[in-house]
Amino acid sequence: MVLGDDCEFLEFPYGDAWRVHFGNVQYWMPFVKHCTISAFGQDGQDILILDGFNNEGFSGGPVVFKTGADQKIMGVVSGYHTEPIDVVFSSLAPRVRKEDVMRPPTTPAQPKGTVNTNSGFIIAYGISYATEAIKKNPIGPPRKPN
């Protein structure tokens, strides 16, 4: 994988899924979203910065690249970067009340009169962190040796 490569991430945002039927069996399928490899972590950390729009509920989902038999899991979604934007009041949005958004900032970096919004940058950790955690604490039924 190199900068600018396409990739996808999968998960069940907001606890939702879509269903597919194979014969009489129903399967719950994850949503798939597209992103681009935008940057790699610094200081030897295996962190990926992806350019795409993430939603709540995708954290913990796999980041994959390539397709078919060549498909690989390259990481796990951790979250997304937010940025403050100015609040615009309008008669077109009567449910937005000024007192709800003019409360004190939630972080020192958030200016008053702003709300944090999704920046489009996804933070993912390289798959090596997940495989190390699985080796340290495997879960699931015991497997019979081959």
For the chain, list the domains and their CATH numbers: 6-21+29-83+118-136 (2.40.10.10)
Look up residue 122 and give its DSSP letter: E
Q: Within the chain, where are the H helices?
A: 98-101, 127-136
Closest CA relative to residue 98, chosen from 86, 82, 84, 116: 86
pLDDT exceeds 80 at position 27: yes
Q: What is the pLDDT of residue 62?
A: 95
Look at strands 25-29 and 62-65 and give their pairing: unpaired
pTM: 0.71
pLDDT exceeds 60 at position 64: yes
Over the stretch 71-103, which tens digit does the pLDDT of each residue have?
999 999 999 888 888 776 555 555 655 555 555
Q: Which has more pLDDT, 57 or 140?
A: 57
Over the stretch 34-54, which tens digit does the pLDDT of each residue have?
999 999 887 667 899 999 998
Cα separation, 85 vs 81, whole angstroms? 13
Strand blocks (E) in the chain? 6-11, 18-22, 25-29, 31-40, 47-51, 62-65, 72-86, 114-126
Q: What is the pLDDT of residue 55?
A: 86
- Where does residue 75 rank: exposed (0-12), middle (13-18), buried (19+ CB within 10 A)? buried
| Neighbouring-strand partners of residue 11 | 31
- In angstroms, what CA-CA distances link 27 with 19, 20, 21, 59, 103? 6, 5, 6, 21, 44
- Specify the residue for token string 């900068």: 3
Q: What is the pLDDT of residue 141?
A: 65
